[in-house]
Amino acid sequence: MRASDADRDRVADQLREAMAEGRLTAEEHAERLDAVYQAKTYAELAPIVHDLPATGGVRPPGNAPSGAPVVRDDLPPPQAGTPNIVAVLSGAERTGRWLIEPQTNVVAVLGGVELDLRQAVLSRREVSINIVAIMGGVNLTVPPGVRVANSIAAILGGTSLPPDDTLDPDAPVIRLTGFALFGGVSVQRRAADGTDPSGKLDHHAIRGEQRRIHREFRGHQRELRRRRRD
């Protein structure tokens, strides 16, 4: 019987829980996670979790074979949306439990995009988000333990990223590519409950970053109008 995306995501959740409990090393987790998203059937999923406890899980309903894996069902499957997020003279956001494709494209032209990755599910250990910000802004919120690699070219714009909080070479990676022209890209690290890694909600930093992006945006608009007059 062929496995669904929800089945693969539940097995991935079970692997993450096993790593958090110390049952799997980071290397074992990365290897098994790759196998999960390459699996097409229950028979291929079953060996991945055969030696892990089935606490909190159930077998798939219906006529699933006896070798079907025991998977967790206490988390909903991620929402699979379009990998292209566009905001032109408007705003767009992606929050909650959603699936991050290997390649996501974000375009903000005279608009803003908010991406909350704290409950998102990565389709692989390293994913790429290609950003084009033209007189617009893109804000990303990432959870602790995720590395952010920035390759965005800023042209009369700017990028703001927090320092990495993990040295684990097998930590998930979000790679940012693209360019910001008269625009900005901001990344902040927050836990699922809205606190920073130290456990304190930094309202001042959030408001300050919002004001900075707004000032830069207005400054870019004034510079563009001046150039048009000249």
Of the listed ranges 19-28, 62-71, 156-165, 193-202, the one predicted with least confidence: 62-71
Would you state the structure tokens that stand for residue 190, as one six-digit string?
């927050």
Percent of the chain beyond pLDDT 70? 73
pLDDT band at 211 (very low <50, low <70, confident <90, very high): low
Task: Please report the pLDDT score of residue 77 as a whole number.
Answer: 60
Q: Which residues have CB under 8 Å from 10's CB, separation 6+?
A: 57, 71, 72, 73, 75, 77
C-beta separation of 128 from 152 below 8 A: no
Q: What is the mean pLDDT of the chain?
A: 77
Top-confidence residue, 214 or 48? 48
Q: Which residues have CB under 8 Å from 157's CB, separation 6+?
A: 133, 179, 180, 181, 182, 183, 184, 185, 216, 220
Task: Please report the pLDDT score of residue 130 as a whole number.
Answer: 96
pLDDT beyond 50 at 70 = no
**SS3 category, 118:** coil
**The model scores a pTM over 0.85:** no
Task: Please report the pLDDT score of residue 121 as a whole number.
Answer: 80
Whole-number Å distance between alpha carbons of 148 and 135: 23
Distance in Å from the first CA to the final CA of the chain: 68
pLDDT average, residue stretch 159-171: 82
Top-confidence residue, 215 or 129? 129
**192 C-beta neighbours (distance < 10 Å), count:** 10
